[in-house]
Structure 1
Amino acid sequence: MANRNLQSIFRQCFSEYSSVENNLFINNRLFHNVKITETNAQDKKSFSNASVEYIVGEGLPCYWLWTKAFEEITESYCGENKGTLRECIIALFEFLQDENNSSQLLKVKKATTVAEIQAILSHHLFAPLVSSGSYINDEQFPDHLKKCPACGENLELGDTSFGNYKVWHGHPDIAIDRCLVKIGTENDECVEDTDIFEYELTDPVSKKIKIEDDARETGGCDEGSELKGYNESLMSKNNEVENTLDQVFAQTITNAFYQAKDNPELQNLFIPSFLATDEKVQILMYNADNDRMLKSQDMELFSDISDNGLNNGTVICIWFALNFMDFQQKELENEFEAIRFEKSGFQEKLRDEILSIYQSELVRPLPMNDSEKECRNVKGTAYHLWNSDHTRRMKERLDTLDEKYWTKSHH
């Protein structure tokens, strides 16, 4: 892809004058304030069994958090400092110009399993957007997928487990630097994303989001309230279907606590996680210091109006989030208070001893618990044994023989 096309990408993504029909434009992507009403974060629950009830409120345009990134991209490409590009900027430019990688990423549309989606997105979307290029798919990944189904290269596998067995814990699908990714399906889309939001800027600090008139008719907005245009939609959950978004909330919050522990440079930052499918990406971010949660709307991964077939606006938003340490606006707490955004309320609902676990006792990787040790012992035998009650009983008998006759010295 020529540099001329890179200029076209940036114009489509950043310029308000590029096109009325432009779905690549970044500033119409909103990050909504989230109020958490109930969780099982105090229980010994894995991420896959996490439960989170929440309310979605107002949204902020993307640049509210990442003006610095907008400036640096534009100045790096159009300005005078082209010779001193940071590695993360180079990674973005190379990604947007890599036709081979784009064609491999497009193959995710033909993926037939969640595992294939995970393999392609980890290798061709998330990893190339960080300067290190490193990622880990959890080692529990299906055995038949050691290679990327798009390009045939080996996948990076490892142990992504973290948390604490006393509270939320588990194995995220993908770890990218300090961020996590959960792979979902289109059935995991969120109810509130069917609403159409538009924003209207008032003054430089208080950027209020106005909800469409039809949303007001649903009773979501109270014209007499202090926060006009505040749309609260309590999420309803289908108990018969695993709610993938609950897992993402739990992973996002737990990871933010883990990353902020012992890392002063991460204090007061929103630490992101992602929910990704073969069509869309959603970004969730939690600030553990100020107990604030933000959640984006679903963002399309692909676009017919792009030369490379990708929705480059979504790609750049993912890049913003992955490189949050470089670009995220800091010291925003006063601004959130000025526009009267509520805190998430997650921490105030936890007992002190539970909150303390999240703040100081999370570990990575998780030590093996008893059931995992059992499974590891069975898998370590010379024969292929099914992991069943009978197998365990027979293994115990063999262990008794081993201890009695072979581990002690006999004459």
Structure 2
Amino acid sequence: MEVQHDTLRRGLKNVRDNFLKFGFLNIDWCNATQSKDFSDADVNYRVMREYVDKWPRVLCFHFTDLFNDGIKMLCDLQNDYGKFEKLQLHEKKAVQRLYDFFTDLGSHEENLKKVLGKSPVTETDISVALAEHLLGKLSSDCTYVIDHKLAKGKGTCKCGCEKLPHFGNTGIGHEAVWHGHIDVVFSSHLDQPPSDIAIKTIGKCEPEVPAKEEDEEETCCSPPEKKRKREGNLEETKESTGGKSIADVKHSPLDGARKQTIAQTIVFSLLQKQNHPDLKNLLVPNILISPEEMQIIMYDAKNDVLLCSNVIKLFICNEFCLGAVIILWMVLHYGMFLNGLLIDKLPMLDEYKSHFKELTQAKWNIYSNLLKGCVSNFPVIEYEGLDFNVDFFFCAKNVLDNEEQV
């Protein structure tokens, strides 16, 4: 238990240094009113800034603000593990899952490397390995479903563990607007309220193109993290957790998949709101993850607020970044640990909205009432853009008017 406590202490310190921040995104334009698969979703967005003494500053929340309940619980356990017995059952199961993961860190790393280190490695192999040996190991009483379209010719996990992945229908949305299939969907049977979560997986990233921003002082890099104890030695490393500025989100190797993930996040959150109208917290996260790094995108379907984190690395010197592991654990249990949008810190909420609702007003009834989940395939819209309730009536009226004139 002492080893797990030491691992928790170092990982928690990393998280509390606030290397993960969430910036507010404003959508200038999107094709969400058209019948578009997520892979064809197009979103023009920008990171919101405010000016302080004529200098731009990114508007953002710290991870520790949004997940304060989870941070406080881990800090209490770090100071006095006897408080574990006072936790509720679902909290105990979640904490035990994290401690079990810390106990067997080396094994989880090894299993992932067996798959993710291969060249080439398929999208399906990446999704299965991350689901089985990272995301699934951190989740409690959860089931996951991988997009059935990735299942052709695939068997067990390629690390040799003989785990048989579960493939199924992960389609969400509506054929008249944004729709498509999520790579992996985790469904919790533990958290109250429910905390289903969508995962977007991508392959290995290309080298990043350096980019400078006018507000470079906002770069969100964490302090150096110590390597884990091995054979009694605790070595220092100059490597950081690899946090990148929120302002650099458009320059990350993940950018090719980010627009798709934004579309999925918004639709998934709106579907959660439709299925669970009594939920008080409608800020729903989505995880964009590669074998090397990850990013968290969240959308509040009630207040129309879109948040995007900076990119952080999963591994440092071929070992798990402990801070990233704790963040993943909390996000996967967001129904338990996420405080929700900090309304008291947003006195002028309208200024922080993404404007997605305004941009999709013509199809808002679909997004708010008619979204579907667990869909196998979406029908093709042959006459895209034709609104039969309006356009057909308009055309018929023109015909009658012309006949009267004759």
Q: What TM-score do you get using the length of structure 1 for normalisation?
A: 0.72
Shift in Å, 1:311:
0.8
CA distance in 2, matches of 1:237, 1:281: 11
Alignment partner of 1:36 out of 27, 33, 36: 27
Which residue of the partner structure matches residue 203 of structure 2? 185
Shift in Å, 1:137:
0.7
Does residue 53 in structure 1 map to residue 44 in structure 2?
yes
Q: Cα 1:76–1:24, aligned 2, differ >3 Å: closer, same or farther? A: closer
Q: What TM-score do you get using the length of structure 2 for normalisation?
A: 0.72
Which residue of the partner structure matches residue 270 of structure 2? 257
Which residue of the partner structure matches residue 147 of structure 2? 138
Shift in Å, 1:122:
1.1
SS at match of 2:374: coil
CA distance in 1, matches of 2:309, 2:329: 14
Shift in Å, 1:312:
1.5
Shift in Å, 1:231:
8.5
Which 10-residue stretch deviates more, 266-275 or 28-37? Answer: 266-275
Shift in Å, 1:301:
0.7
Checking the alignment, whether the CA contact within 8 Å between 2:170 and 2:183 is kept in structure 1 is yes
CA distance in 2, matches of 1:165, 1:339: 31
**1:42 counterpart letter in structure 2:** T
**1:95-128 per-position Cα deviation (integer Å, ceiling 9, x unaligned):** 2222433321333441322222111001111112
Report the structure, 1 or 2, having the larger strand content: 2
Percent identity over the alignment is: 25
Which residue of the partner structure matches residue 408 of structure 1? none
Which residue of the partner structure matches residue 62 of structure 1? 63
SS at match of 2:110: helix
RCO higher in 1 or 2 (8 Å CA, sep ≥ 6)? 2
SS at match of 2:149: coil
Which of the two has higher C-alpha Rg? 1
Shift in Å, 1:315:
1.2
Checking the alignment, whether the CA contact within 8 Å between 2:147 and 2:168 is kept in structure 1 is yes
**1:218-239 per-position Cα deviation (integer Å, ceiling 9, x unaligned):** xxxxxxxxxxxx997895999x
Which residue of the partner structure matches residue 82 of structure 1? 84
RMSD, matched Cα: 3.3
SS at match of 1:148: coil
Checking the alignment, whether the CA contact within 8 Å between 1:188 and 1:245 is kept in structure 2 is no
CA distance in 2, matches of 1:14, 1:247: 31
Which 10-residue stretch deviates more, 81-90 or 148-157? Answer: 81-90
Give the aligned length.
329
- Please give the residue correspondences for 1:235-384 in structure 2 after superposition, counting only pairs within 5 Å: 235=250, 243-304=256-317, 309-330=319-340, 332-337=342-347, 342-351=352-361, 353-366=362-375, 368-369=377-378
Q: Cα 1:11–1:367, aligned 2, differ >3 Å: closer, same or farther? A: closer
CA distance in 2, matches of 1:192, 1:343: 30
SS at match of 1:145: coil
Does residue 103 in structure 1 map to residue 110 in structure 2?
yes
Checking the alignment, whether the CA contact within 8 Å between 1:260 and 1:267 is kept in structure 2 is no
Which residue of the partner structure matches residue 120 of structure 1? 129
SS at match of 1:356: helix
Structure 1 unaligned runs (5+)? Answer: 16-22, 199-209, 213-229, 372-411
CA distance in 2, matches of 1:234, 1:277: 15
Checking the alignment, whether the CA contact within 8 Å between 1:31 and 1:61 is kept in structure 2 is yes
Shift in Å, 1:267:
3.6
CA distance in 2, matches of 1:26, 1:234: 20
Shift in Å, 1:188:
7.6
